[in-house]
Amino acid sequence: MWVEVILPVPVHSTFTYAWDAESLPAPGMRVHVPFGRQRCLMGVVRSVLLEAPTHEVKGILRALDTHPRIQRQQLSLWDWMSDYYACSLGEVMQAALPHFFKLEEDAEGPFTISDGAMAHWRWIGRQSDQGQISAAFEQLSRATKQSEALLQYFQVALRLPQEEGDFYPWVAQNSLLEEDGMDASSLRALQKKGFLEKTLRMESEAHWPNTEADLAALSSAQSRALAEIREGMEEGKPVLLRGMTGSGKTELYVHLAAQAMDLGQHTLLLVPEIALTAQLYRRLDRSLGRGRLLVYHSQVSDGQRRDVWEAMLRPDSAPRLILAARSGLFLPMERVGCIIVDEEHETSYKQQDPAPRYHGRDVAVWLAHQIGAALVLGSATPSLESYQNARQGKYLEVVLNQRFGIAQAPAIEMLSLVKYQALQQMEGPFTRPALEAIAEAVGEKKQALVFQNRRGYSPFLTCMACGWTEPCTDCDVAVTYHKTSKSLHCHYCGQSREPSPHCPSCGKSAWQWRGLGTERVEEHVEELFPEARILRIDSDSTRKRAAMSQFVDWLEHGEVDIVVGTQMIGKGLDLSGLDVAVVLNADNALQLPDFRAHERAFQLFTQVAGRTGRRDLPGKVLIQTATPEHPVLLAVQQGDYVPMAESLLADRKTHHYPPYVRMIRVEVRHRREYVAQQAAHFLAGQLNAALGGGVLGPDAPSVARIKNVYLQHLWLKLPADRSLSVIKKRLRQTADQLSFHPDFKSVKLVLDVDPA
């Protein structure tokens, strides 16, 4: 027999190999195959051929599985994503398969997943030999992490039913990895030292201490919304849950997950930011019962992700709720009965680089339809694409416009920067009313939020003698100064260096920091409120694995007075003590060169405002802006989503932008600027001829050079009801012409379907 194999290479085809293994081949099995000169690659069988190919083929080196580890449903998803997002199957496979599929934990070579068994650990000695346990801790006195890991093993083991005999019970690895500070490397180290033993065994469902969900009572508005959602599920329609911030959408998710569990089905809950999982995990775990909630994202250990994959594969495993980032869409889905996309409007669901450049929300829509699962898209500020689908009847819209309990919507006030600057009532970046509101909140033992959507200390380092602005050497952007590391960073390529003492243009030392980043705002807040406890939350301060979880703990327990942060803190955090939010400069978000700028500004400010006043007292939101009468800001102030959406949709229709058209961006990349420009013009001519016009550009993007590679953009606008298959086929054919052109062989093309 012969097999078609998907390999991790950017080629739009599979590769044929002869099957020489003893086992029978099947789609979804992993194999090692020869490829090129002295290369060996891991691939996945796409299909089995019973007739010999017309050309000579090599044989596989070995089969890595005895039965499929990737389901047919997953392979179908790979096929669709490859076709829709105009990338190769190999690129989709690279994104879909987690690291544990590719490498052993301790050796180089593919990891062979057990047949439905999970890793379990047990103390090597007997329970009655306490002296051996004491000796072990004494031996580990200098190995702090291993000592803590061993202690946590005993703490978890003693909570489980004791097995017969004088041995401690086997503990599932995923149960251990849920404990704070525990990682798989510590367990392996304890195994090497002879303290723990490891086995692969089926996980006993009888060990779950709570199989019944402890569901909170719903308000009348929530109950009505839940009933409407279930009606939509019965009709087989995707449901758009438009619930204002603080209305209790998460509690509805819990009820939907519990309903799916009663039917023996898994539920997949997608969140846009990994940072959100820390607080959300605790809320869901309390409601669903320990052991019923699993987490899957890139910051989770390989062991935990493998256990999630196994639980999804096993037909006899208990139904779970899987809390995941967008990568959770690649899990085995045969037993998934409900998919929920929380904050569906978030741009974090869009994968930018590398391919496939997919949008998690859109993939979830396709996937739910394919597997027959219910789909719920939740947001206080839905994307215009989803809102338009609801208007057209493709989605069922369920509105939850009442905050949970006695919580009230916050009062939003615009503060004119022009006015307060003219009155000289500014202290640093703050207007006087903003400072007074923060001081009042801190004085009443409440919390205040200062929002500045730019990290670092200062976005520009400028010479005041000659006007020189320090640029990145590899990108067409200014570098940002980070005071914490005392270095200049490029937020595009990651380059960092120490600032020069003298201006390279004029040789003088007249440097001045221009603009505000969160580090500089934090410094101003410390000067203005020296007694306050201040916390900065951005992608720099939350790099450590458990940082966000710790920050949320501090906030929930009232150990922080003022939090300074970026958009990370506007994405679904539930902070009961937050009373005041100050947006420092709203105009930055309103003036971006993007047709989605106003939509995203409305979403961002509404979400930030929604963090306040989530309990018994209404919050207060102060937005500092030079344009207080801007229609987007007025819509935020009045909480008018529908009028705002209708206005933006009318504008989009007039100027032919999504959701009324489909867009494809073609990016031309080359290390020489003139080559990128010439290739882009050549490509534009070829595409216009092939498609009969409709190609916009080429033009350079606002950042025209990144990592010393020059960029040119072409844009294709296509009718929303037109099939993209033929267009993408012609795109690939035209791209092939470019690759055979003698002047453009080294030019790289990047296709982005539905760019965000």
616, two tokens: 């018994």
Say how far apart CA 622 and CA 411 lie, in whole Å. 9
DSSP string, 663-690: EEEEEEEESSHHHHHHHHHHHHHHHHHH
- Strand 620-625 and strand 487-489: the pairing is unpaired
CB of 61 closer than 8 Å to CB of 34:
yes
CB of 82 closer than 8 Å to CB of 13:
no
Cα dihedral 136, 137, 143, 149 sign: positive
CB atoms within 10 A of CB 387: 25
Question: What is the phi-psi region of residue 428: left when phi exceeds 0, alpha when psi lies from -120 to 50, beta otherwise?
Answer: left
Say how far apart CA 231 and CA 222 lie, in whole Å. 14
CB of 661 closer than 8 Å to CB of 654:
no
CB of 586 closer than 8 Å to CB of 634:
no
Q: pTM of the full predicted structure?
A: 0.85
Check residue 545 and give its pLDDT: 64
Closest CA to 292 of 375, 371, 185, 213: 213
656, two tokens: 């032919």
Check residue 405 and give its pLDDT: 67
CB atoms within 10 A of CB 452: 24
Q: What is the mean pLDDT of each run of 10 residues along the chain (756 residues)?
A: 93 92 89 85 93 91 88 96 94 91 48 55 85 90 90 84 75 73 83 87 48 77 95 94 89 93 93 78 78 83 81 83 94 95 94 94 97 96 96 95 76 95 94 95 92 91 91 94 91 91 90 91 95 91 76 84 88 77 93 93 92 77 96 94 96 94 95 95 91 88 95 92 81 84 91 93
User: What is the set of domains in the chain, with CATH numbers?
Assistant: 2-101 (3.40.1440.60), 118-201 (no CATH), 220-400 (3.40.50.300), 411-457+515-650 (3.40.50.300), 459-496 (no CATH), 661-753 (3.30.70.600)
